[in-house]
Homo-oligomer: A and B are copies of this chain.
Amino acid sequence: MSLRTLFAGDLHVVNVGLESFAQPLRDSGVDVTSIDWRPPAHGDDELGLDLARLVGHPLVEASNAVAMDRILAVQPLWVDVCPAREAIPALAERRLLLHAGPPIAWAEMCGPMRAAVVGAALLEGWASTPAEAERQAASGGIEFEPCHHHDAVGPMAGIISPSMPLIVVEDPATGRRSYSNLNEGQGRCLRYGALGDDVMDRLRWMSARLGPSLRAALRSLPERVNLRSLTAQALQMGDECHSRNVASSALLVRELAGALAQHPDLGGHEALEFLRGNNYWFLNFSMAASKLATMAGHGVEHSTVVTAFARNGVEVGVRVSGCGDSWFTAPAADVEGLYFPGFGPEDANPDIGDSAIAEVHGLGGFALAAAPAIVGFIGGTPSAARRISEEMATITVTRHRDYQLPGLDFVGAPVGIDVRAVVDTGTEPTITTGISHREPGIGQIGAGITHAPLECFIKALRAFPALPVEP
């Protein structure tokens, strides 16, 4: 068709990519359909070639299917509560604290994590003043390792010390176990970097009374609590099991109440009072269950499935099934959110915590369509929440069989973040999260939405082990 013929009739234009090319046509009254397209891999040639080698490759597809089968087969049963030193031997052998996110040294830690380290050192009796605790931490007197390196996860600062009671979750088919600490509630909590007598008293009570009473109650239940089925129920009840845990927490308390009532000597009645007001109680269970599932999919050769995403408040990092135990890191992102009165974005610590393991497992931001009550995080409309869940489905391998989203006609939650899809589309995983004050000692100041930075996924893709030459 000659240009002359082209312009003789009515023009209907499809504009691919840069929206600014469409505007002059629109201004001249032309009917333009815009397609939001960006070159794969940010237009980076070398990265584009790395990506092209992996996209659609049968070995990768098959390996991802294996990884997802393993992840989705896990039945996370809550089997015990015990002091961390019993569950994780390294905590009994060394003066060690576990923390959220990829590895980080004391000197690099953000304010809330430092505060939580100080609190844990005081709790363990390693130091009698905050200054002494800081000196120990600075001089190498305390070692630090990620929770993830010990099959554990902790929200926000994620500090786990030897005496803290841990949730123990087990997959009966493999005997594999994962761990998380117990949730302190909202507001002034160690995990948000709050310090003070209130925080320390609660932690001591949790070790002395809450943990033992839960352990005893759990043992007297007729059967173990299946956290997968509890999560599936809660998704029908407005939870996304990361930043909204009201239904799951209430269901779990109802399950335990009769058994806790039997153990007043161990603290069961105090536990019931404590649980009455804790709407975040299930978060740590959701995290431990998500860790158990995703770790089952780790270590599958040639799999591009993400098996962990975690943040230490300074850096964030992903681990990928086929990339061994490396963390691929980027600077921690900011959180957009709703702040408690008197606080604002300038007070916020960047993204922190292991809780994004929920998103790696199809919950949190990926299941946002299930949780209309927290759509205030994202502008207030359930339709925006549904869009986010649908967008996340463009970067995942499959959908969860049991985790259904009622807001999207019961479709399964998107699960199994594929490094290839993130790099190809440039779509960063959406994460719902709490917000910590950046200064040590203050605590939670809000909650909102953040994203896993593309940079981590690009690094992982670049480092992805070469595929064998086809036979």
Q: Which residues of A contact B (CB under 8 A)?
A: 233, 236-238, 246-247, 249-251, 253-255, 257-258, 260-262, 264, 268-269, 272-273, 275-276, 372-373, 381-383, 406-407, 409-410
Contacts and interface: CB of A to CB of B under 8 A. Distances in A.
B262 A275 contact: no
A287 to B, nearest CB: 21
Contacts of A268: 261
Contacts of A383: 409
A249 B257 CA distance: 13
So how many copies of this chain end up in the complex? 2
Given A237-B246, A410-B372, A254 B253 contact: yes
Contact of A261 (B246, B251, B269, B407): B269
A246 B238 CA distance: 12
A406 B372 contact: yes
The 8 closest A-B pairs by CB, nearest first: A372-B406, A261-B261, A258-B272, A257-B257, A250-B250, A258-B273, A237-B238, A237-B237
B272 A372 contact: no
Given A253-B254, A254-B257, A258-B272, 16 more contacts: A236-B238, A237-B237, A237-B246, A238-B406, A247-B250, A250-B254, A253-B257, A254-B276, A257-B272, A258-B269, A261-B261, A261-B268, A372-B406, A382-B407, A382-B409, A407-B407
Contacts of A272: 257-258, 261
10 contacts: A236-B373, A246-B251, A249-B254, A250-B250, A255-B276, A258-B273, A258-B276, A372-B410, A382-B407, A383-B409
Contacts of A250: 247, 250-251, 253-254
Contacts of A237: 237-238, 246-247, 373
Contacts of A381: 409
Among A238, A253, A258, find the residue whose CB has the most chain B CB atoms closer than 10 A.
A258
Contacts of A254: 249-250, 253-254, 257, 275-276
A262 B264 CA distance: 9
A224 to B, nearest CB: 15
A237 B246 CA distance: 9
A261 B246 CA distance: 22
A264 B381 CA distance: 46
B246 A275 contact: no
Nearest to A257: B257
A261 B258 CA distance: 8
A371 to B, nearest CB: 9
A372 B236 contact: yes
Among A237, A246, A272, find the residue whose CB has the most chain B CB atoms closer than 10 A.
A237
A236 B373 CA distance: 6
A221 B233 CA distance: 28
Contacts of A261: 257, 260-261, 264, 268-269, 272
A406 B276 CA distance: 25
A29 B65 CA distance: 51
Nearest to A405: B372
A389 to B, nearest CB: 14
Contacts of A276: 254-255, 257-258
A257 B259 CA distance: 11
Contacts of A233: 246
Contacts of A275: 254, 257
Contacts of A373: 236-237, 406
Contacts of A247: 237-238, 247, 250
Contacts of A406: 238, 372-373, 382
A334 B257 CA distance: 39
A283 to B, nearest CB: 16
A406 B255 CA distance: 27
Among A237, A249, A254, find the residue whose CB has the most chain B CB atoms closer than 10 A.
A254
A246 to B, nearest CB: 7
A457 to B, nearest CB: 33
A246 B230 CA distance: 12
A157 B268 CA distance: 39
A258 B254 CA distance: 11
